[in-house]
Amino acid sequence: MSNYCINCGEPGSLEPVKEPENHEAPFLERGVFNDTEASYSEEQEVTILCCGVCQHEMIDLPSAGSSGSALFVVVGRVCDEEDVLRFVKATSSDEAEAKFTQMIKVLQDWNGDNEIYIEFCVPLSDYQSFLIS
């Protein structure tokens, strides 16, 4: 199976980014919220690919997904706050939005009254269709 860059469209140009000897593996934040500990995120190893033509870096989707779940790109905010982008691991867009909502309440000190806006929630795999070459 041939790969291609989502930035420049060049086929077969992607190679894994080499991990520096004195550095931990690249990690991707995933949306897991634990109410009892009031903490956000766990880390999951992923492979980062780099295009040999335009040097654009991207996540290797097969290394990021597992067991029926997918990564969703979610952007949202509490009213009057800045938008936040997160990659959320979930089995559906509803689950991804729910996990994101729990995270944003803590991150942006939600007061219980202000509205929470989800600007968009799209499976990361759908971004191949957004390629302009």
Reported as a single tens digit per residue, the pLDDT across 111-121 is 999 999 999 99
Q: Is residue 1 part of a domain?
A: no
CA distances from 20 to 17, 23, 56, 132 (A): 9, 5, 18, 32
Q: Is residue 84 part of a domain?
A: yes
Q: Is residue 6 part of a domain?
A: no
Q: Phi then psi for 68, rounded to 5 degrees?
A: 80, -10
Total-model pTM: 0.51
Q: Is residue 8 part of a domain?
A: no
Q: Is residue 108 part of a domain?
A: yes
Q: Is residue 115 part of a domain?
A: yes
* 54 token code pair: 């335009």
- Is there a contact between 15 and 64 (Cβ–Cβ < 8 Å)? no
Q: Is residue 104 part of a domain?
A: yes
What DSSP designation does 107 have? H
Q: Is residue 55 part of a domain?
A: yes
pLDDT digits (tens, 9 = 90+) for 71-123: 889 999 999 999 999 989 888 899 999 999 999 999 999 999 999 999 999 88
Domain residue limits at 121: 14-130
Number of separate domains in the chain: 1
- Whole-angstrom Cα Rg for the chain: 17
CA distances from 59 to 27, 29, 37, 63, 67 (A): 10, 12, 29, 8, 18
